[in-house]
Protein backbone atom coordinates (compact mmCIF):
# COMPACT_ATOMS: atom_id res chain seq x y z
CA UNK A 1 0.00 0.00 0.00
CA UNK A 2 1.16 3.49 -0.75
CA UNK A 3 1.18 6.47 1.57
CA UNK A 4 -2.31 7.43 0.47
CA UNK A 5 -5.44 5.35 0.67
CA UNK A 6 -8.56 4.53 2.59
CA UNK A 7 -8.35 3.56 6.23
CA UNK A 8 -9.39 -0.07 6.77
CA UNK A 9 -11.48 -0.39 9.95
CA UNK A 10 -10.71 -4.13 9.96
CA UNK A 11 -6.95 -3.81 10.42
CA UNK A 12 -5.65 -5.74 13.41
CA UNK A 13 -4.83 -2.65 15.48
CA UNK A 14 -8.33 -1.22 14.97
CA UNK A 15 -9.69 -4.58 16.14
CA UNK A 16 -7.44 -4.48 19.21
CA UNK A 17 -8.61 -0.94 20.00
CA UNK A 18 -12.25 -2.07 19.78
CA UNK A 19 -11.58 -5.12 21.97
CA UNK A 20 -12.24 -7.55 19.10
CA UNK A 21 -8.69 -8.95 19.14
CA UNK A 22 -6.51 -9.76 22.12
CA UNK A 23 -3.35 -7.89 23.06
CA UNK A 24 -0.90 -7.95 25.94
CA UNK A 25 -1.41 -4.40 27.14
CA UNK A 26 1.22 -2.32 28.91
CA UNK A 27 -0.51 1.07 29.13
CA UNK A 28 -3.79 2.61 28.05
CA UNK A 29 -5.45 5.97 28.46
CA UNK A 30 -7.78 8.15 26.36
CA UNK A 31 -5.01 8.99 23.85
CA UNK A 32 -2.96 5.82 23.31
CA UNK A 33 -2.70 2.09 23.77
CA UNK A 34 0.69 0.44 24.23
CA UNK A 35 0.96 -3.32 23.86
CA UNK A 36 3.55 -6.00 23.26
CA UNK A 37 4.31 -6.99 19.67
CA UNK A 38 3.20 -10.61 19.16
CA UNK A 39 6.04 -11.04 16.66
CA UNK A 40 8.83 -9.18 18.47
CA UNK A 41 12.02 -8.22 16.74
CA UNK A 42 13.70 -8.27 20.17
CA UNK A 43 12.74 -9.05 23.77
CA UNK A 44 10.50 -6.22 24.96
CA UNK A 45 9.32 -4.97 21.53
CA UNK A 46 6.46 -2.59 22.30
CA UNK A 47 3.90 -0.95 19.99
CA UNK A 48 2.20 2.38 20.67
CA UNK A 49 -0.97 3.28 18.74
CA UNK A 50 -3.12 6.40 18.90
CA UNK A 51 -6.77 6.08 19.83
CA UNK A 52 -9.74 8.07 18.52
CA UNK A 53 -8.17 8.55 15.06
CA UNK A 54 -8.39 6.68 11.79
CA UNK A 55 -4.81 7.42 10.73
CA UNK A 56 -3.09 4.97 8.39
CA UNK A 57 0.30 6.59 8.97
CA UNK A 58 1.98 9.58 10.61
CA UNK A 59 1.06 11.87 7.73
CA UNK A 60 -2.65 11.16 8.32
CA UNK A 61 -2.47 12.08 12.01
CA UNK A 62 -4.30 15.33 12.82
CA UNK A 63 -1.89 17.88 14.29
CA UNK A 64 -3.81 18.04 17.58
CA UNK A 65 -2.95 14.37 18.21
CA UNK A 66 0.79 14.61 17.55
CA UNK A 67 1.88 16.00 20.95
CA UNK A 68 -0.06 13.55 23.14
CA UNK A 69 1.07 10.60 21.03
CA UNK A 70 4.73 11.61 21.02
CA UNK A 71 4.69 12.41 24.74
CA UNK A 72 3.49 8.87 25.41
CA UNK A 73 6.00 7.31 23.02
CA UNK A 74 8.71 9.19 24.94
CA UNK A 75 7.35 8.12 28.35
CA UNK A 76 7.05 4.49 27.25
CA UNK A 77 10.55 4.43 25.75
CA UNK A 78 11.93 5.63 29.09
CA UNK A 79 9.94 2.92 30.91
CA UNK A 80 11.27 0.22 28.53
CA UNK A 81 14.83 1.38 29.20
CA UNK A 82 14.27 1.50 32.95
CA UNK A 83 12.59 -1.90 33.14
CA UNK A 84 14.61 -3.95 30.68
CA UNK A 85 18.04 -2.26 30.80
CA UNK A 86 18.83 -2.72 27.09
CA UNK A 87 22.13 -1.62 25.61
CA UNK A 88 20.28 0.52 23.06
CA UNK A 89 16.78 1.43 22.01
CA UNK A 90 15.24 1.82 18.56
CA UNK A 91 12.14 4.00 18.23
CA UNK A 92 10.75 3.76 14.71
CA UNK A 93 7.61 4.37 12.68
CA UNK A 94 6.99 3.31 9.06
CA UNK A 95 4.84 5.16 6.50
CA UNK A 96 3.62 3.09 3.55
CA UNK A 97 4.50 -0.41 2.41
CA UNK A 98 7.66 0.67 0.55
CA UNK A 99 8.93 2.05 3.89
CA UNK A 100 8.21 -1.24 5.67
CA UNK A 101 4.72 -0.60 7.08
CA UNK A 102 2.74 -3.84 7.39
CA UNK A 103 -0.27 -2.75 9.49
CA UNK A 104 -2.01 0.34 8.19
CA UNK A 105 -2.96 1.97 11.48
CA UNK A 106 -0.37 4.48 12.68
CA UNK A 107 1.94 2.89 15.24
CA UNK A 108 5.36 3.40 16.76
CA UNK A 109 7.76 0.57 17.57
CA UNK A 110 9.90 0.76 20.70
CA UNK A 111 12.51 -1.97 20.32
CA UNK A 112 15.11 -2.70 22.99
CA UNK A 113 18.50 -3.59 21.52
CA UNK A 114 20.96 -5.90 23.22
CA UNK A 115 24.67 -6.01 22.46
CA UNK A 116 25.52 -9.11 20.43
CA UNK A 117 21.86 -10.08 19.83
CA UNK A 118 20.69 -9.86 16.23
CA UNK A 119 17.45 -8.08 15.53
CA UNK A 120 14.74 -10.24 13.94
CA UNK A 121 13.54 -8.83 10.64
CA UNK A 122 10.47 -6.59 10.69
CA UNK A 123 7.49 -8.80 9.90
CA UNK A 124 9.64 -11.95 9.99
CA UNK A 125 9.93 -12.72 13.70
CA UNK A 126 8.44 -15.77 15.37
CA UNK A 127 5.27 -15.50 17.43
CA UNK A 128 6.10 -14.84 21.09
CA UNK A 129 5.07 -16.86 24.12
CA UNK A 130 2.09 -15.02 25.69
CA UNK A 131 3.06 -15.70 29.35
CA UNK A 132 6.54 -14.30 28.59
CA UNK A 133 4.99 -11.21 26.97
CA UNK A 134 2.76 -10.75 30.02
CA UNK A 135 5.81 -10.89 32.30
CA UNK A 136 7.67 -8.30 30.21
CA UNK A 137 4.55 -6.08 29.99
CA UNK A 138 4.26 -6.11 33.78
CA UNK A 139 7.92 -5.09 34.13
CA UNK A 140 7.48 -2.16 31.75
CA UNK A 141 4.16 -1.10 33.35
CA UNK A 142 5.83 -1.12 36.78
CA UNK A 143 8.49 1.26 35.45
CA UNK A 144 5.94 3.87 34.32
Q: How many CB atoms lie within 10 A of CB 51?
A: 14
Catalytic residue among 65, 72, 105, 107: 107
Strand partners, 27: 34
Q: In what order do the strands lie in the sheet with 88-92?
A: 25-28, 32-36, 46-50, 108-113, 88-92
- CA 91 to CA 120: how far, in whole Å? 15
Residue 72 bears catalytic tag: no
- CA 137 to CA 92: how far, in whole Å? 19
**Which residues does the annotation mark as catalytic?**
107
Amino acid sequence: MSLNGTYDDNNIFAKILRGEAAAVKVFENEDVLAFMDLFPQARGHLLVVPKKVRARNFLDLPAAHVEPLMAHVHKLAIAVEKALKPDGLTVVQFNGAPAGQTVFHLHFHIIPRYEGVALAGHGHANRADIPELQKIAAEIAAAL
